A and B are shown apart, each in its own frame.
Chain A
């Protein structure tokens, strides 16, 4: 077995007879066996909250008065490399002084979207952001196009949350796809 080394090495022989390497290996695997698993129990019990830089599902912001920030300038749809954003503007003549340019239709086709974030960079009023929602699987094609009304609803993970933690969650199977609503009160750092 020891073909490379010429001569007789007593220490090596003793080590071989006592199976020291084998025992060392066993000790390492036993250590891992009794150590805590690093598996994230997603989606049953836990969910990963990404950092703020995460580019997930789009959402549209409102200002402090609850007015939509979007001015329907269509820069987002111009900047989009996959042309997945459709904006149709209109005059808001519901009152409150001069007429504003607002979006009548603002929709994004999530099947085409590649989540590059150019749209949020292009947005002059910071109306559009890519959020931290990443469960977009659904069973109906209709659900892959998201409209303005839905995107105006605030997402489950608020903007000011740091992210990078595991939170408690539960798994829900609804008619418009799966949902894993997070419980932001209980969170912990990832173990590894």
Chain B
């Protein structure tokens, strides 16, 4: 029989995991609305307007539509892989959030117990996040392969080639941060940036902004967003890897994509912009989670903003940016960072 503190520990973790999963399942609903609103206003339109006030109920209408749509599996498709692929895309996107720190610990008033705003503080947090996020690409590749369609296959191939080129750059950027902070744990990385805005890794001159630029560009490619959304390039590939998907399976891919965007925003905030730390010493009692969410929301908006600003790159341009620009720059930058840390 385990003692009471262990049981409480287990309960707390279970509650946190359940809560996190709920939030992540619900998150794409507002995000689709926000994305369409941002698209609308950037194009001087209004965006969703008719379903509910300011179109706020539009995501629910979309959800009902996706749930009731016919779930078509193509005749010649690999049935098992075809059904497995959306899950393969979705599960890693959720699993990443085990290691993400949202805030420091706080004490629950009545039972007098410290609760941390992260599920687990791994000492290899950043390694875990990058590797699990990299697994998500299997869903895309499987989906492209199992659909038995040329467009889907090309989308899947592009996704894998793109992943190989940009995973290196993103890992180098993470290595840069690890070198600046001397820790692989995401919680430690945030703690190291706790002394105001100038201690954030972004302002670790001269290498911080370069690392951030590399990380940002590479994560755009990682999460398949414009200007690097070649795997689902509707101009040349129909809809890319999810051409044959409909209904709930398509919704899972969308879910994974939006959560990947949130993950990328969260990682940028954690690695470069001080996580939950306030930029200045403000005497007001503003909760840490507010700073964290504010920064994450800014970066989510920034991703959408970029999406409706830049056109899509050609595939060879994408490859040459990855191999000829980002990787050499990150190698040089590692050298400079190492010299600065001596």
Residues of A that sit less than 8 Å from B by CB: 19, 22, 25-26, 28-30, 32-35, 37-39, 41, 44
Q: Are B40 and A37 in contact (CB under 8 A)?
A: yes
Residues of B that sit less than 8 Å from A by CB: 38, 40-46, 49-50, 213, 305-306, 308-310
Q: Are B40 and A29 in contact (CB under 8 A)?
A: no
For A29, give its contact among B45, B49, B50, B308 (CB under 8 Å).
B308
Given contacts A22-B310, A25-B310, contact A33 B45 (CB under 8 A): no
* Closest chain A residue to B325, Cβ basis: A1
User: Using Cβ atoms and an 8 Å threshold, which residues of chain A touch B308?
Assistant: 29
User: Using Cβ atoms and an 8 Å threshold, which residues of chain A touch B44?
Assistant: 32, 35, 37-39
How near does chain B come to A1, taking the closest CB pair, in angstroms? 8
Residues of B contacting A: mostly: loop
Q: Are A29 and B46 in contact (CB under 8 A)?
A: no
Q: Are B305 and A26 in contact (CB under 8 A)?
A: yes
Q: Are A32 and B43 in contact (CB under 8 A)?
A: yes
Q: Are B46 and A26 in contact (CB under 8 A)?
A: no
Residues of A contacting B: mostly: helix
* Closest chain A residue to B317, Cβ basis: A1
How near does chain A come to B227, taking the closest CB pair, in angstroms? 10
For B42, give its contact among A22, A29, A41 (CB under 8 Å).
A29
- Name the residue among A28, A30, A33, A41 with the largest chain B CB count within 10 angstroms: A33
- Tell me the bound Cα distance from A190 to B41 in angstroms: 18
How near does chain A come to B85, taking the closest CB pair, in angstroms? 34
For B305, give its contact among A29, A35, A41 (CB under 8 Å).
A29
Q: Are A37 and B46 in contact (CB under 8 A)?
A: yes
Q: Are B46 and A33 in contact (CB under 8 A)?
A: no
Apart from A26-B306, A30-B305: 5 A-B pairs, beta carbons within 8 A = A29-B308, A32-B42, A32-B44, A38-B45, A39-B45
